[in-house]
């Protein structure tokens, strides 16, 4: 009952096997090709820096109208005045209690020195007190975490004029005995950060791009002034705090703290410079 296989079919059978073998080989090559294909590696931070138009620059942050002052209260010598702890004493002396806010200065310094922009060495900090005396803060300073320790440091600073690193004898805080405006060059761009409904809010990322595009030379890219007051309220012009500001910039129309304004501008620089 078996029928003989047609000669033409016999001739084509080996060819069919070869075709299957070729397909399997091709399939194996494709699979091995997928395995051997290397994924594109993400650029390293060093490669990213090469792509930048400019290397990261420096900025200056000025904590304006800082309410830090010391006095003797009874048996307590060189006490740092505070609106909540020494309210009765300040009222008796006819001093506005709301102006003495060393806690805001402490919080602002912690915010600045904790940000990567400062840790990478791109920030210089100055403090201008309510008595119009500038204080230079070293970039290597470690700000005390507790207010009690910070108050002790400020008491020593105002009493002795400076606080030095005991290991290197380098000043960490130094009272300059003149207003901070004397430290600002005449052609410097000084931005007063504020929150107000009278100005249109400016996107901090757009502001940073504009500042960096206009940056020239090795000097600071810009100076930023923040008021050490409740809700970062900008004082009246006649008070003389921040009268050297060239551009008043509204970062938000909502009530906010000086620390929030510092975070917004520093985050923008870190993102722009890839820090």
Q: Residues 42-91: pLDDT tens digits?
A: 555 444 444 445 678 889 999 998 888 888 777 778 888 878 787 788 78
pLDDT of residue 63: 94
pTM of the model: 0.76
pLDDT of residue 51: 46
The residues near 262 (Cβ < 8 Å, ≥ 6 apart) are 61, 108, 111, 112, 115, 193, 226
Residue 266: closest CA among 224, 236, 218: 224
pLDDT of residue 229: 80
CA atoms within 13 A on the CB side of 253: 5
* DSSP-based three-state secondary structure for 17: helix
pLDDT of residue 167: 86
pLDDT of residue 265: 92
Q: Contact 180/62 with Cβ under 8 angstroms?
A: yes
pLDDT of residue 2: 45
Q: Contact 269/117 with Cβ under 8 angstroms?
A: yes
Residue 176: closest CA among 240, 128, 127, 133: 133
pLDDT of residue 54: 60
pLDDT of residue 87: 76
Alpha-carbon gap, residue 124 to 118, rounded angstroms = 8
pLDDT of residue 205: 92
* DSSP-based three-state secondary structure for 65: strand
Query: In which residue ranges of the chain is pLDDT below 50?
Result: 1-32, 34-37, 45-52, 238
pLDDT of residue 7: 46
Pairing of strands 190-195, 247-252: parallel
Pairing of strands 76-80, 134-137: unpaired
The number of helix segments (H) and strand segments (E) in the chain equals 8, 10
pLDDT digits (tens, 9 = 90+) for 81-114: 878 787 788 788 888 878 888 999 999 999 999 9
pLDDT of residue 84: 79
């Amino acid at each position: 009952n078996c029928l003989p296989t047609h000669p033409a079919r016999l001739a084509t059978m080996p060819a069919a096997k070869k075709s299957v073998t070729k397909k399997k080989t091709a399939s194996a090559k494709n699979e091995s090709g997928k395995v051997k294909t290397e994924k594109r590696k993400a650029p390293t931070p060093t490669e990213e820096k090469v792509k930048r138009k400019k290397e990261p620059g420096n900025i200056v942050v000025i904590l304006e109208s800082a309410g830090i002052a010391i006095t003797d209260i009874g048996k307590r010598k060189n006490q740092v005045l505070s609106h909540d702890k020494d309210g009765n004493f300040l009222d008796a002396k006819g001093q506005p209690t709301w102006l003495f806010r060393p806690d805001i200065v402490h919080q602002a310094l912690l915010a600045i020195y904790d940000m990567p922009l400062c840790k990478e060495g791109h920030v210089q900090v100055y403090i201008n007190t309510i008595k119009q005396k500038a204080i230079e803060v070293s970039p290597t300073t470690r700000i005390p975490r507790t207010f009690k320790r910070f108050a002790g440091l400020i008491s020593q600073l105002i009493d002795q004029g400076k606080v030095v690193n005991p290991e290197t004898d380098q000043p960490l805080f130094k009272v300059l005995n003149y207003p901070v405006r004397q430290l600002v060059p005449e052609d410097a761009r000084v931005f007063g950060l504020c929150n107000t409904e009278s100005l249109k809010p400016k996107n901090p990322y757009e502001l940073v791009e504009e500042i960096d595009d206009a940056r020239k030379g090795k000097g600071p890219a810009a100076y930023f002034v923040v008021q050490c007051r409740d809700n970062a309220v900008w004082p009246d012009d006649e008070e003389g705090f921040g009268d050297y500001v060239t551009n008043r910039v509204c970062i938000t129309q909502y009530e906010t703290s000086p620390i929030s304004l510092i975070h917004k501008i520093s985050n923008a620089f870190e993102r722009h410079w890839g820090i």
